[in-house]
Amino acid sequence: MIKYVLRPGFVASRNDLQSHFISYGKLIKLYGLNPAECTMYSPRRCANKGLIYLYPSHSGDYNIKGNKS
């Protein structure tokens, strides 16, 4: 069952201030998720209530805090 919608993207590193792309697969690893519970972001999924949307973190904090849409 899908619980998480992942939106890959760029973040600025706090260490070197360079922009780095965080992929879908990397987000799964960083958040410690089961891939079977994840799907890639698409505009059509924005209306799905109850799913947790996860993004690259500028702070480096990849703990899920229940940021449901």
Task: Give the total number of structural domains in the chain.
Answer: 1
Instruction: Find the mean pLDDT for residues 28-57.
Output: 87
In a domain, 61, yes or no: no
Domain extent, residue 50, equals: 4-54
pTM: 0.82
The pLDDT assigned to 14 comes to: 75
In a domain, 21, yes or no: yes
Q: Given pLDDT bands bounded at 50, 70 and 90, which one contains residue 3?
A: very high
In a domain, 66, yes or no: no
Distance in angstroms (rounded) separating the CA atoms of residues 33 and 45 = 19
Could you give the C-alpha distances from 42 to 13, 56, 58, 59, 68, in angstroms and in order? Answer: 25, 16, 21, 24, 16
The pLDDT assigned to 48 comes to: 66
H or E segment and range at residue 12: strand 9-12
The pLDDT assigned to 11 comes to: 92
In a domain, 69, yes or no: no
In this structure, the strands spanning 4-6 and 52-54 are parallel
Query: Of 50, 47, 52, which is closest to residue 6 (Cα–Cα)?
Result: 52
In a domain, 60, yes or no: no
